[in-house]
């Protein structure tokens, strides 16, 4: 099945710094999704991308759908302590077919105040 390679696995940054993480795939995706998971909670959708080259922002978060359709990145600007959590990229395993998702392994973000 389709595999998503997400990096980095973890990041330790100071408050105020910018963060960047990315996902790559060997297969083409028609949709890229970015989720954040707080400890003990379910993932929350941050940004959904639907078109190659699309650049979408949600507050301090910006995500892009790579032109090749095989990659996506998520940037967080001016990080704050509440940005701590695990960030997952995801995409539909079989586009148009029952919405099953495949996930990256996640990026654990730690923000030092």
Tell me which residues touch another protein (CB under 8 A). Answer: 30-31, 33, 35, 40-45, 48, 50, 88, 90, 92, 98-101, 103-106, 108
- Residue 96 β-bridge partners: none
Which class for 108: exposed (0-12), middle (13-18), buried (19 or more C-beta within 10 A)? middle
CB nearer to another protein: give 43 or 66.
43
Q: How far is the CB of 15 from another protein (least distance, A)?
A: 23
Q: How far is the CB of 16 from another protein (least distance, A)?
A: 26
DSSP string, 47-61: EEE-STT-EEEETTE
Q: How far is the CB of 110 from another protein (least distance, A)?
A: 13
């Amino acid at each position: 099945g389709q595999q998503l390679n997400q990096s980095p696995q973890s990041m330790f940054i100071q408050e105020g710094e910018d963060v960047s993480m990315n996902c790559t795939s060997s297969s083409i995706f028609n949709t890229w999704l970015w989720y954040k998971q707080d400890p003990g909670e379910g993932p929350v959708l941050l940004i959904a991308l639907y078109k190659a080259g699309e650049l979408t922002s949600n507050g301090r978060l910006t995500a892009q759908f790579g032109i090749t359709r095989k990659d996506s990145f998520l940037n967080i600007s001016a990080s704050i302590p509440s940005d701590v959590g695990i960030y997952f990229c995801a995409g539909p395993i079989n586009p148009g077919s029952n919405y099953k998702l495949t996930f990256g392994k996640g990026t654990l973000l730690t923000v030092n105040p």
